[in-house]
Structure 1
Amino acid sequence: MQASLLTMLSVSTIAAEVTYPEGWIKPGESGTFKQSQTHSNASGKVKVLAEGQLVEMSEHPFFQALSENGRACISCHQPSDGLSLSVKTIQDVWSGTQGRDPIFAAWDGSNCPDMPQKEKASHSLLLDRGLFRIQMPWPPAPRYGKEVTPDFDIEVVRDPWGCNSSQKYGPDAAEPSISVYRRPRPVANLKYLTAVGFAYDPKQGVALPRDEISGEFLSGNIMSDNRSVNLKAQMQDASGTHLEMLAALTNEQVEKIEGFILSIYAAQVEDNDAGKLDDGAFGGPELLRDSKPGQLGSIGRAVWSEFEPWEEQKSTGVTPEQADKRASIARGARLFREKMFLISDSAGINSPMGFGNPVLNSCVFCHNMSQMGNDVAPGQVDIGTTTKPFAEPAPELPLFRVTCKGDPHPHYGRSFLTQDPGFGLVTGRCADTGKITLQSMRGLAARAPYFSNGSAKTMGDLVDYYDRRYQINFTEQERQDLINLMNSL
């Protein structure tokens, strides 16, 4: 009796110690998902809209823990973080649960499953960079029903956590694989990411594939490396890896999750200094929800042009401080479209598209989709965030030597170093090494850090990377204007 009482007290004490950040939704939580909700972040507030019928979370597969590791889709796609996860939130969850939340599951929430899971250092990539481990088969899995024979060799040069030299997980394992580490992508505004602006992939110079079931063209914008070609395939990939499900999702579960995530829209709606961002045509989630398919491309309204009226705003009801910040955001939008610089040595841009190397253009050259800022043209690009000589040193990340067997890489030569071969791990093509799918740009302020490897901890770091990479030479005012723009999206 006494032992039972002590056990009950111990369990009660543990439960009392567990706290979560405001707005956090746990797997299996009861109640309906709010169809309109607003969450604060360092720059202001992000708003999330859910269209359609009310969703009872405890009965919906997006919110249910469907496997033994205790995770659900919601674990890594929180509304308060724009349907992704910020490092601040991850750190708060660790502190509040002493590392016991399912997002820290050994398989991919730690640097390697072999490491001591109770130690904070074993989860450093997730806690410091927001990175989950992605284990990719090597050689690549069949693609579009065809075997993939890689035209490059890959050698592990640096393996700080042991996964890539492990006899269980590495390239010498019984089932050879490569472990890379990436940020979770947001599951909001997906109708924009599945939209297709071309019938071919201009970044590879090949015909755009079609979905085997629907017959529709595939956008290639859903995952960072395009390994899952549609939402249904992405769900099955995530259920078998991040959720560690032994059985595939049922068709009913897939349909429910797909319907739900296609109903979600998210955008920043308030800035700490500029005030409301979603008045009228100024770009909140309602605008994203109501835009028709014909308005998804870059033809018509220019990217971020909704902010132009703010450049000289003197209307009543706006304080001088708000007017100054709004003018800065408007200048940032104009810079984004009109500031020209030389784009060089970037696969998917300079090759094989035929624009030349370098090519003179602006940010909107690639971030061209109106109201969203991702790319209308399908395909992946490499701006160097993970590959030498442009990537940061990052000794905490693995490093691989890629050696092309045939033609050398168009920009790196025959042999080069990368932290993440990206799209090349899917296609097996040396020319695709380092390529990553462009991010959507809505709700950015809610989900720092940035880039697939979390190398830009702040929006300033992101702008500074582009400035160094392409030698743009932003003035301090231009730098701040661009930061203010992107924090307002």
Structure 2
Amino acid sequence: MFRKAIVPLAGLAAALSASVGALGDAPERWWSPGDGRSFPAQLDYTNAQGTLRLLLTGGALDTKGHPFFEPIGRNGRACVTCHQPADSMSLSAATARARWEETQGKDPLFAPFDGSNCPTLPQAERSSHSLLLDRGLIRVQRPWPAKVWNGRKVVPDFKLETVRDPNGCNSGPSYGPAAGNVSVYRRPRPIANMKYLLAVGFPYDPKQGYALPRDPETGVVLSGNLMADGRLGTLKQQMTEASDAHLQMLDKLSDAQIGRIEGFIRSIYAAQQTSTKGGALDTLGAKGGPAKLRDSEPGALGSIGEPVWSEFAAWDKISPEDAKTLTPAQLEFRRSVARGARVFRDKTFLITDSSGINSRIGFGNPVRNSCVFCHNMTQMGNDVAPGQVDLGTTTLPFADPMPDLPLFRVTCLKTPHPHYGRVFYTMDPGFALTTGRCADSGKITLQSMRGLSARAPYFSNGLAKDLRGVVDYYERRYNIGYTEQEKQDLVNLMSVL
């Protein structure tokens, strides 16, 4: 029987060079607005864990004049500024630091409005951009109090007060709750694999217990997976807000520009393709890489289809004959990935005091389940069930102190929060800034798990600097009891997604 050969580690670099060489010289990592480069149908970028691959359906794209790649706003940015291909269409802190060093802080990425900790700070100083450079965070200014959500008037049922403001953007005459706005700091969300993020897994929001929002123009039910705080449900809404806030456009995007940007976003797929330790990720029965994402479809309504942990299950039983094609280190790494998939799927623990899970209708507090309970979307690892979840990453006592972020006191005016009580402290109220509901404080939309190796740090506020930090947070948050081997196996699994 024919067996596909595995490239040993010694020849991996040459194989990757050949792959890139088919597209020309090794691609420049940073895409500046107005570069005018062609975006090829296949694009590979190396990272610390191996190689990220991007696939563009429809063939190569000439980016000259394309509104995603052109600096169409006042500050010299383009959409690509914060959604870099080498970072799996997000933006890593390492990339931001490299750009700071290369341009001495003059790149449009560091525009005062949101590329610095606050526009009032001295912009030439690195410390004024520390949240972007150290945590990969962009400032997001939300109006407060919230007035409308899902087409209905909102009267917030909690009071929001600033108790710590290290950056000056949550106090004073122009910034903060007293000035009618709130500044929070979040990671740019990746915009690849949009087919899955837009898929609607349930006919209603089972985490909140109410109907899903609908597209105001088409009436189509929305997935709610686009924004961290669920404030916008369509790509058009997201693009319109981003062009106004992040690009600082004076004019609105035209329908033609929106159509071209959306066409590109819907066409790009990204995932880790090779591993420095394990070799190619689509061999010996594994289904790694973005081709599977491109060629598959989200599961049917309410179905998880093929979950992200299943892609490497075949490596759990590598035959002796196939094992001969691998180095001992490759073989052990692949077996570790397969073990990580089992841990992800099978190791249960008590999930406690997590709004959107324990406060969900039909679930108790605690509820016993595994990682796949929430990370189950076909091929992606976000939640097939729409709605936001509070893992405690932004709210005390579960969050790390993170003194470089603002801290707010939340006082529930009616019913106390189901897990934090009437008064508690948070660095980002999350979904509550959208709904005005105290019970929604701390809830954040789950992200995709693809391309993780290209876009550290992790969680919405950059709490985990690396993949081990992700595992360690869950361990201490839920007292899971992972062994050191299980932790490493989970890290290895996440490194190849």
TM score, norm. by length of structure 2? 0.92
In structure 2, C-alpha distance between the alignment counterparts of 1:296 and 1:132, rounded to whole Å: 34
Distance in 2, matches of 1:84 and 1:93, equals 15
Aligned residue number for residue 40 of structure 1: 46
Work out whether residues 45 and 271 of structure 1, in 8 Å CA contact, stay in contact via their aligned partners in 2.
Answer: yes
Greater shift after overlay, 243-252 or 327-336? 243-252
Which residue identity does 1:74 align to in structure 2?
V
* 1:250 pairs with 2:254: yes
After superposition, what is the alpha-carbon deviation per residue over 1:221-257, rounded to whole angstroms, capped at 9, x for unaligned?
0011111111110101111111111221111111110
- 2:132 alignment partner in structure 1: 126
Gaps of 5+ in 1: 1-20
Q: Is the 8 A contact 2:305 2:377 kept in 1?
A: no
Determine which of 144, 153, 156 is the counterpart of 2:150: 144
Query: AA paired with 1:154?
Result: L
Q: Is structure 2 residue 112 aligned with structure 1 residue 106?
A: yes
- The one of 51, 73, 79 aligned to 1:73: 79
Instruction: Tell me whether 1:96 sits opposite 2:85 in the alignment.
Output: no
Residue 164 and residue 300 in structure 1: after superposition, are their counterparts in 2 closer, same or farther (change >3 A)?
closer
Q: Which whole-Å deviations, capped at 9, do the CAs of 1:194-222 have from their partners, x for residues lacking one?
A: 00111010000011222122222110000
Aligned partner of 1:61 in structure 2 is 67
Q: Is the 8 A contact 1:283 1:371 kept in 2?
A: no
User: Using the alignment, how far apart are the partners of 2:138 and 2:442 within structure 1?
Assistant: 18
Would the aligned equivalents of 1:45 and 1:270 in 2 still touch at CA under 8 Å? yes
C-alpha deviation, 1:144, in angstroms: 2.7
* Structure 1 CA distance for aligned equivalents of residues 59 and 490 of structure 2: 38
User: Which structure 2 residues correspond to residues 59-458 of structure 1 after superposition, within 5 A?
Assistant: 59-173=65-179, 176-279=180-283, 281-294=286-299, 298-313=303-318, 314=320, 315=322, 316-458=324-466
Please say if residues 286 and 315 of structure 2, whose CA atoms lie closer than 8 Å, have aligned partners that are also in contact: no
Offset at 1:423?
Answer: 0.4
* TM superposition shift of 1:55: 2.1
State the secondary structure of the residue aligned to 2:159: strand
What amino acid is aligned across from residue 170 of structure 1 in structure 2? G
C-alpha separation between the residues in 2 aligned to 1:299 and 1:223? 21
Find the aligned partners of 2:299 and 2:375 in 1 and give their Cα distance. Answer: 18
Q: What CA distance in whole angstroms lies between the structure 1 residues aligned with 2:147 and 2:74?
A: 26
- Counterparts of 1:258 and 1:359, CA distance in 2: 39
Distance 1:451 1:141 in 2: 27
CA distance in 2, matches of 1:335, 1:214: 42
Structure 1 297/318 Cα, relative in aligned 2: closer, same or farther at 3 Å?
A: farther
AA aligned to 2:392 is G
Deviation at 1:302, TM superposition (A): 4.5
Distance in structure 1 (CA, Å) of the matches to 2:391 and 2:276: 31
Counterpart CA distance in 2 for 1:29 and 1:302 is 37
TM-score scaled by length of structure 1: 0.93
2-structure distance, mates of 1:303, 1:186: 17
1: CA distance, partners of 2:479 / 2:333: 26
Q: Please give the per-residue CA displacement for 1:9-47, whole angstroms capped at 9, x wherever unaligned.
A: xxxxxxxxxxxx941110011131122111011111100
Q: Distance in 2 between matches of 1:143 and 1:296?
A: 25
Counterparts of 1:22 and 1:345, CA distance in 2 = 45
Which digits, 9 at most, give the CA deviation of each residue in 1:301-331, with x for residues without a partner? 3442121111232304222211100000000
Structure 2 gap segments, 5+ residues each? 1-26
What is the identity, as a one-letter code, of the residue corresponding to 2:311?
E
Contact 2:227 2:445 in 1 (8 A): yes
* Contact kept in structure 2, 1:202 and 1:378, CA below 8 Å: yes
Amino acid in the other structure paired with 2:309: W
CA deviation map 1:269-302 (0-9, x unaligned): 1111100012365131111001124469644534
Query: Alpha carbons of 1:300 and 1:107: their partners in 2 closer, same or farther (altered >3 Å)?
Result: closer
Identity %: 62
Which residue identity lines up with residue 327 of structure 1 in the other structure? R
Aligned-residue offset at 1:62: 0.1
Aligned AA for 2:264?
F
* 3-state secondary structure, aligned to 1:59: coil
Q: Which amino acid in the other structure matches residue 282 of structure 1? A: K
Q: Give RMSD over aligned pairs.
A: 1.4
